[in-house]
Every structure is written in structure tokens, then in C-alpha cells.
């Protein structure tokens, strides 16, 4: 294991970026109450120290602490810093792959962010960027962090012939595309990946690999990373029984730039919200419709014809659709500044219409 200060210049290495999370958490009483803990307490070098003896020979590591937070508090500025660090590393010939330790609560947001802003670069540079985390704090009996970290390090350094470069996630002995992460269980050890299209890391499934290659073939240009102060303000609303129009009307009085509506079933929106949401779009507020169910694609004009300008989220959950909309709005703004007449809908469709991996 190496740190930035003592590795010889230009030594080929895996860069490990620490973002905090449960994998870096500590429980006050790990034997009795391991789920009462504080996330983001242990530094990345200490986490690597826990697995140092098991790291395969020939793998040089460099670690860098970008943040050490509870991921429920993830901010857009954290994503900007991470995206810039990942892009710089992908362009560094001495970096052969990246591992990012991250909290699982918002790992799905980071997964789609990295795919959309760094996915093509990772592919063309033939490097893997691996997100990993844990569901148990680092000092809990049977903590899952060390094994997940080791698996991520191995996957980042595995021969590129086994799987192309790209943005992936590794947990519980499985690998998925990071954009497919979705935490749908509060406590299961592999919660962020258990319902995602995945493959065992030690024997890659041909069907999964074919899906990965289809996504990469369709994704032909990364979107710009918003600067810390340039992220559009987007909120998520969940349609429900007894919904009132006032819920939407209140947002019309704000500076919000977009709304994600998690509808019932196939993304259906309560009748009480239809008129104020149309008014929101008339005011220039971007609107994306998804499903509150947590699984299954939301399709354009299903179950009813969408209002002009409203986009469906495809297979993305509301948190991922929110990040996608932020990046689409920013990309449209940057394109318009250089005279390209592209809309946020153009960019959002590029993201939402990516092939699904099975």
C-alpha cells in the first residue's frame, strides 16, 4: 500500500478515493448495537490498512481523501470535486484504475453522475472506476467493508480483456454498472446492488457483459460537470392518495428549475397535480415523470399522453432521474452558450434512453 507522499513518480497504481460513508463508520457499542453508528469516521488510509495483508502482490495503491461524510448529506459540491478528480485520474497514464469508497445511502446518485460525466472517458482510456461501500460500520462484527474493498481493488486491476473500462460498482461479490445502483432495502448487506442487473465478479456472465457493451456503444459523449455553484435546483415530489394542488403551487413561487414527480404505478400523476404541473412547465420549470414503485421503466406517453415538454425517466429511480435532469439542464445551458440549439430534453433523452442491462 502506498500513499501519495511516498510512491515513486509515474509508478503504475490504483487510485483509491475516500468519500466516507458506513464503510468508514464507527459504532459506539459494536457488539451490542452495531447499527447505531456514525458514518465517515475512519480515513481511507486506515481502511486500506485493514486489508493490506490481503492485497494481491503487484498492486500499488495511492489513496486520497476527498470527503469523509455520511452520504445522506452528499452535496452537489462533493460530486463536482469527485468528478474532477476522476477525470484527472483517467487522463493520468500512471493511474491504471480507480476505487471509490462511498456511503450506500446516495451511492446511486453518484453512480449515474459518474456514468454521465466520465463514462465515455473511462471506456476510451480502458480504465475501470469502481464504487464500493458497506452496510455495516468498520468496527462491527462481520463488517462487510473489507471484503467489498478487496473485491473492488481486484476488479479495478483485473485484465481489461475480461470486461471493458467503464464506471462500475462492486458489493457482496457482485458487479454492476454504477448507473444501475438502487438501494431498495434498508439493511440487507448487498442492498444497493441486490436488485440491479449484475454479475458475479469471479465469473462474468456473458449476458451481463453484452448489456454493458450495448450501453457503452450507445453512450458516445460525456456531459459537462457543473461547477459547484452551477447545479440546477431540482426537487422530487411523490404522488400519493389525497394529493393537493397546493403542494405543487408552492414550488411555482420559488426559483426551482425542475421537478421530478414520482408517480404511482407506471408513473401516473394525481389529477389534482396535473393543472399546476402544466403551469410549472409554462413557467419554464423542467418536468420529469418517474415511478414511486422503485422498479420498472417509466415510458413516454404511458399510461396517458404526456404534456408537451415532460420527459419520462426510463428505468431510473427518482434520485437518479434528479441527477440526470440536473446534468441535462447544465449541458443545455453550456451548449446554448456556444450557439448549439439543444434543449434539456435532448440531453435527458440521451441518458434515459440508454439500453437496459439484463
Short-list 130, 164, 157, 179, CA closest to 23: 130
CATH of the domain spanning 13-218: 3.40.50.1170
Burial 55-94 (b: 16+ CB within 10 A, else e): beeebbbbbeebbbbbbeebebebbbbbbebbbebbeeee
- Flag whether 110 is marked binding: no
pTM for this predicted structure: 0.95
Contacts of 220 (CB under 8 A, 6+ apart): 120
**Which one of 101, 104, 298, 317 is the catalytic residue?**
104
> Which residue ranges of the chain lie beneath pLDDT 50?
1-5
Q: Where in the chain is the domain with CATH 3.40.50.40?
A: 234-352
* SS3 per-residue string spanning the chain: CCCCCCCCCCCCEEEEEEEECHHHCEECCCCCCCCCEECCCCCHHHHHHHCHHHCCCCCCEEEEEEEEECHHHCCHHHHHHHHHHHHHHHCCCCEEEEEEECCCCCHHHHHHHHHHHHHHHHHHCCCEEEEECCCCCCCCCCCCHHHHHHHHHHHHHCCCCCCCCEEEEEECCEEEEHHHCCCCCCCCCCCCCCCCCCEECCCCCHHHHHHHHHHHHHCCCCCCCCCCCCCCCEEEEECCCCCCHHHHHHHHCCCCCEEEEEEECCCECCHHHHHHHHHHHHCCCEEEEEECCCCCCECCCCCCCCCCCCEECECCCHHHHHHHHHHHHHHHHHHHHCCCCCCHHHHHHHHHCCCCCC
Angle 73-79-81 from CA coordinates, rounded to 5°: 115
Residue 222 — φ and ψ, nearest 5°?
A: -70, 150
Fold of the 234-352 domain: Rossmann fold (3.40.50)
Other CB atoms within 10 A of residue 297 CB: 16
pLDDT of residue 7: 74
- Flag whether 346 is marked binding: no
Is residue 291 annotated as a catalytic residue, yes or no?
no
97 bridge partner residues: 14
Question: How far, in Å, CA of 210 to CA of 227, rounded?
Answer: 34
Q: Where in the chain is the domain with CATH 3.40.50.1170?
A: 13-218
pLDDT of residue 254: 97
Is residue 22 annotated as a catalytic residue, yes or no?
yes
CA distances from 273 to 242, 245, 250, 321, 347 (A): 11, 5, 12, 19, 26
Short-list 166, 170, 164, CA closest to 202: 170
- Flag whether 33 is marked binding: no
Amino acid at each position: 500500500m502506498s500513499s501519495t507522499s511516498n510512491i515513486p513518480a509515474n509508478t503504475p497504481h490504483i487510485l483509491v478515493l475516500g468519500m466516507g460513508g458506513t464503510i468508514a463508520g464507527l459504532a459506539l457499542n459494536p457488539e451490542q448495537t452495531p447499527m447505531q453508528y456514525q458514518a465517515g469516521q475512519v480515513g481511507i488510509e486506515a481502511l486500506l490498512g485493514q486489508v493490506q495483508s490481503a492485497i494481491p502482490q503487484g498492486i500499488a495503491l495511492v489513496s486520497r481523501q476527498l470527503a469523509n461524510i455520511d452520504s445522506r448529506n452528499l452535496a452537489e459540491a462533493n460530486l463536482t470535486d469527485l468528478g474532477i478528480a476522476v477525470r484527472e485520474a483517467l487522463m493520468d497514464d500512471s493511474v491504471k484504475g480507480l476505487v471509490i469508497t462511498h456511503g450506500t445511502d446516495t451511492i446511486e446518485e453518484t453512480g449515474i453522475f459518474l456514468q454521465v460525466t466520465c463514462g465515455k472517458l473511462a471506456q476510451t482510456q480502458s480504465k475501470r472506476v469502481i464504487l464500493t461501500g458497506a452496510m455495516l460500520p468498520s468496527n462491527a462484527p462481520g463488517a462487510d467493508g473489507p471484503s467489498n474493498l478487496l473485491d473492488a481493488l481486484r476488479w479495478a486491476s483485473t485484465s481489461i480483456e475480461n470486461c471493458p473500462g467503464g464506471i462500475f460498482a462492486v458489493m457482496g461479490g457482485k458487479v454492476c454498472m454504477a448507473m444501475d445502483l438502487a438501494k431498495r432495502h434498508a439493511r440487507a448487506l448487498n442492498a444497493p446492488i441486490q436488485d440491479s442487473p449484475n454479475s458475479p465478479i469471479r465469473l462474468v456472465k456473458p449476458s451481463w457483459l453484452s448489456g454493458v457493451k450495448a450501453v457503452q456503444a450507445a453512450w458516445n459523449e460525456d456531459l459537462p460537470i457543473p461547477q459547484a455553484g452551477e447545479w440546477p435546483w431540482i426537487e422530487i415530489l411523490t404522488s400519493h392518495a389525497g394529493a393537493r394542488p397546493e403542494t405543487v403551487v408552492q414550488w411555482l413561487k420559488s426559483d426551482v428549475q425542475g421537478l421530478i414527480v414520482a408517480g404511482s404505478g407506471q408513473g401516473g400523476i394525481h389529477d389534482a397535480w396535473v393543472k399546476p404541473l402544466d403551469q410549472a412547465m409554462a413557467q419554464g420549470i423542467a418536468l420529469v415523470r418517474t415511478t414511486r414503485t422503485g422498479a420498472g421503466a417509466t415510458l413516454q406517453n404511458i399510461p396517458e399522453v404526456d404534456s408537451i415538454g415532460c420527459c419520462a425517466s426510463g428505468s431510473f429511480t427518482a434520485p437518479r432521474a434528479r441527477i440526470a435532469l440536473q446534468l441535462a439542464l447544465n449541458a443545455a445551458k453550456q451548449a446554448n452558450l456556444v450557439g448549439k440549439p439543444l434543449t434539456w430534453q435532448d440531453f435527458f433523452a440521451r441518458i434515459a434512453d440508454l439500453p437496459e442491462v439484463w
